[in-house]
Amino acid sequence: MAENKRENFGGRFAIIMAMAGSAIGLGNIWRFPYLAGEHGGAAFILVYILSSVFLSLPIFLSESIIGRRSKSNTYGAMKKLAPGTRWKWLSIITILAPLIIVSYYSVVGGWSIEYLVKSLTFGFNSVPKEEITSLFSEFISRPYAPILFHTIFLGTTAIILTAGVKSGIEKFSNWSVPVLFLLILAILLYSLTLPGAMGGVIYMAKPDFSKITSKVILAAMGQSFYSLSLGVGTILVYSSYVSKKENLLVSGLGTAAFDLMFALMAGFAVMTAVFSAGVTPGAGPGLIFESLPYVFATMGESAPVLSGIIATVFFVTILISALTSAVSLMEVGVAYLIEEMKMKRKWATFTTFIGTWTLGCFCSLSFGPLGGIQFFGKTIFGFCDWISSNFLMALGALLFSLFVGWKMKKSDVYDEFTNGGTLKVNVRCFKPVYFLIRYIAPIVILIIFLSGILL
Ligand code: PHE
């Protein structure tokens, strides 16, 4: 596709909303609260912020620089910026990884639709509290219903994408990200009023530096990585829709700030509610789909209508945040098909949908009939999650930082980062940023990468 036909985001607000939409997702709502609580509360949060600034931000900027410089999808970008080399083949990783992630992410998105329906019909009030956990495992192991909801979730993602960058992605994130903040604020304010909420606040906020071990530091780095959607080309592709006038440093900082703010708000909201109901804070999707429904059922004993409303608001929040992330993941594949295979956006989206939907069905069925199929001791769902977030993501991030730090000409990187030397603050930041991209990021990623495989 000719370069002048590519769409651009409408401005700074749209760019930050789209990128924040990608960043804010399930990672903020279930992974962050659990990790923070388990790993020393405020001490973990401090490590998390430090790794966001010194590791994630440089990688974010690497992706932004490649994306905007090339105005291309991940494969096309390498083809343009390093013509005649093998770099473009390496970029295949960054097309596969987001598609694998979106396949299983959509299954979880589908669960949130099912739970939204349950909340709307005050379904948690009619289930005895003790049966809430088994309700979840019973639901996800069913063959048809979860696939139906996965289809609705992924189908909605695809519909947004067929509308294009401006009328689809931009329009959707421009309203949904502000709404997400309002929703999480409402939940946070409400959960702080619950009896026993202080327990959750202390769990999250009390700094316990004795819990900071090398494993915890790795967990904080990995989390800041995952949360900012790095290493899989989503930020690269979104940046390719950023106009040459915009400031890449500002969009990076803005996105990271919104993502952190949301994680903190979600963390406090979730943990205060969990503590108030006396539930042990569990890990993974279990926290959202088992512990919290238990909280809602507890609330429902005294205030059934209110509990139904809060549960609804909560699952709407999860659903929208997952959708904005899924849109960014799927766009990586769509952009590739449009630009490299010369497909129309509609067909590119449909093709990506079919592929990811199929893999998603296998992921969904791996909680039931296909549970026996295992790779390296993991179910299909577990394997897709593991290979993408522990392996491909780190590999992709390594690729991007090496590309900007060692393959691209330094003068080109400078030109892109500073808009031709016109942005004074960026000019001043260039040296340390370049150092982080060239030396620190690859070394640290390598450590995360090896520990992800070996631990
Ligand atoms: N950042 C998203 C979250 O926190 C997950 C994601 C990873 C989205 C990679 C896009 C790319 O849930």
State in Å: Cα 22 to ligand 1 middle. 6
User: How many Cβ atoms are within 10 Å of 283's Cβ, its own excluded?
Assistant: 14
* Nearest protein CA to atom 5 of ligand 1, as residue: 229
Q: In the predicted model, is pLDDT for residue 331 greater than 80? A: yes
Query: Is the C-beta atom of 157 inside 6 A of ligand 1?
Result: no
Per-residue pLDDT reduced to its tens digit, 43-75: 899 999 999 999 999 999 999 999 999 999 999
What's the gap in Å between 346 CA and the centre of ligand 1? 24
| 81-109 pLDDT tens trace | 999 999 999 888 899 999 999 999 999 99
- Kindly tell me if the per-residue pLDDT of 3 is higher than 50: no
CA 101 / ligand 1 centre spacing (Å) = 9
Q: What is the full DSSP assignment across 236-256?
A: HHHHTTS-TTS-HHHHHHHHH
Does residue 229 have its Cβ closer than 6 Å to ligand 1?
Answer: yes
- H-helix or E-strand containing 189? helix 171-192
Confidence tier at 281 by pLDDT (50, 70, 90): low
pLDDT at 35: 84
What gap in Å lies between CA 265 and CA 33, rounded to an integer?
9
pLDDT digits (tens, 9 = 90+) for 365-381: 999 999 999 998 999 99
Cα of 421 from ligand 1 centre, angstroms:
32
Ligand 1 centroid vs 86 CA: distance in angstroms?
Answer: 27
Average pLDDT of the chain is 92
Among candidate residues 157, 90, 93, the one with its CA nearest the CA of residue 387: 93
- Is the minimum distance from the CB of 298 to ligand 1 under 6 angstroms? no
Instruction: Determine the average pLDDT of the residues in 151-158.
Output: 98
In angstroms, what is the span from residue 262 Cα to ligand 1's centroid?
A: 13
- The Cα–Cα gap between 336 and 73 comes to 5
Substitution site in 48, 56, 107, 227 for ligand 1 pocket (most atoms within 8 Å of beta carbon)? 227
- Mark 38-62 as b/e (b = at least 16 C-beta within 10 Å): ebbbebbbebbeebbebbbbbbbbb
Q: What is the pTM of this model?
A: 0.94
Ligand 1 atom 9 nearest Cα: 229
Dig out the tokens for 453 from the structure. Answer: 């495989």
Please say if the pLDDT value at position 129 is more than 70: yes
**Highest-confidence range of 61-65, 121-125, 279-283, by mean pLDDT?**
61-65
Q: Residue 65 has what pLDDT?
A: 98
Contact 417, 61 (CB under 8 A): yes
Which residues does 207 contact at the CB level (< 8 Å), separation at least 6? 40, 41, 42, 43, 46
